[in-house]
Amino acid sequence: MVTRKRGGTRTDKAKGYAVTVVVFGVVQGVGFRPFVYRLAREFGLGGWVKNAGTGVEIRLEAHDPKDFERFLHALKGRKPPLSRIERVSSAPAPFKGIADFRIGESRPGGSFVFISPDIAVCKDCLEEIHAPGERRYQYAFTNCTNCGPRYTIVRDLPYDRKSTTMSGFPMCPDCAREYGDPLDRRYHAQPIACPACGPRLSLLAAGTGKRVPGGVPEAAGLIKKGRVLAIKGIGGFHLVCDPENERAVRRLRRIKGRMTKPLALMAADVGTVERYAFVSPAEQRFLLSPQRPIVLLAKKRDLPGIAPGLNEMGFMLPYSPLHELLLGHIGLIVATSSNSKDAPIMKTEEEGVLSLCDHVLTHDRPIEMRSDDSVVKTAGGRPLFVRRARGYVPYPQPVHPELRAGIVVAALGGELKDTISLYKDGYVITSQFLGDLDDYRNFRYFEETLAHVGRLFGAKPEVLVSDLHPDFHTTRFAERSGLTHLKVQHHHAHILAPLLEHGIPPGRKVLGVALDGYGYGADGKAWGGEFLIADHDSYLRMAHFDDVPLPGGDLASRQPWRMALSYLAQAFGKDIPPLRALEKIEKRRVRAVLEMIERGIGSPPSSSCGRLFDAVSFLCGTAPIEMEYEAEAAMRLEAAASVRTRAYYPYAFLDEARPFRISFVPTVREIMEDRKRRTPACLMASKFHNTLARVVLAAAERAKRDHGIETVSLAGGCFLNKRLLTGTERLLGRNGFTVLRTDAYSPNDESLSLGQIAFALARLRRRDK
Say what the alpha-carbon torsion angle 409, 415, 418, 423 is, to the nearest 10 degrees: -10
pTM, rounded to two decimals: 0.95
Mean pLDDT of 206-228: 96
Residue 654 has pLDDT above 80, yes or no: yes
Least confident of 65-69, 484-488, 723-727, 740-744: 65-69
- Check if the beta carbon of residue 316 is closer than 8 Å to that of residue 647: no
pLDDT at 521: 98
User: For residue 82, what pLDDT is reported?
Assistant: 84
Does the structure show a pLDDT above 50 at 441?
yes
The reported pLDDT for the residue numbered 113 is: 77
Is 20 buried (19+), middle (13-18) or exposed (0-12) by CB count in 10 A? middle
Phi, psi of 475 (to 5 degrees): -65, -45
Does the pLDDT of residue 14 top 80, yes or no?
no
DSSP string, 365-420: S--SS--PBPEEEEETTEEEEEE--BTTTT-EEE--GGG--SS-EEE---SSSB--
Q: What is the pLDDT of residue 601?
A: 96
Query: Over 80: is that where the pLDDT of 327 sits?
Result: yes
Share of the chain above pLDDT 90, in %: 91
Residue 11 reports pLDDT greater than 50: no
- The pLDDT, as a whole number, for residue 157 is 77
Answer yes or no: are the C-beta atoms of 757 and 411 closer than 8 Å.
yes
Q: In which band, very low, low, confident or very high, does the pLDDT at 6 lie, cut at 50, 70 and 90? A: very low
What confidence score (pLDDT) does residue 458 get? 87
State the Cα–Cα distance between residues 678 and 732, nearest whole angstrom.
32
Instruction: Give the model's pLDDT for residue 769.
Output: 66
Tell me, what's the pLDDT at 201? 98
Contact 479, 499 (CB under 8 A): no
pLDDT at 541 over 70: yes
**What is the reported pLDDT for 760?**
98
Q: Residue 430: pLDDT above 60?
A: yes
pLDDT (0 to 100) of residue 115: 87
Inform me whether the pLDDT recorded for 12 exceeds 80.
Answer: no
Residue-level pLDDT at 5: 45
- Which pLDDT score is estimated for 111? 57
Q: 475 and 733 in contact (C-beta within 8 Å)? A: no
pLDDT for 4 equals 44
For range 263-277, the mean pLDDT:
98
Identify the three-state secondary structure at position 646.
Answer: coil
Reply yes or no on whether the pLDDT at 478 is more than 90: yes
Q: In terms of Cα–Cα distance, which of 264, 327, 265, 316 is closest to 291?
A: 316
pLDDT level of residue 108 (50, 70, 90 thresholds): low
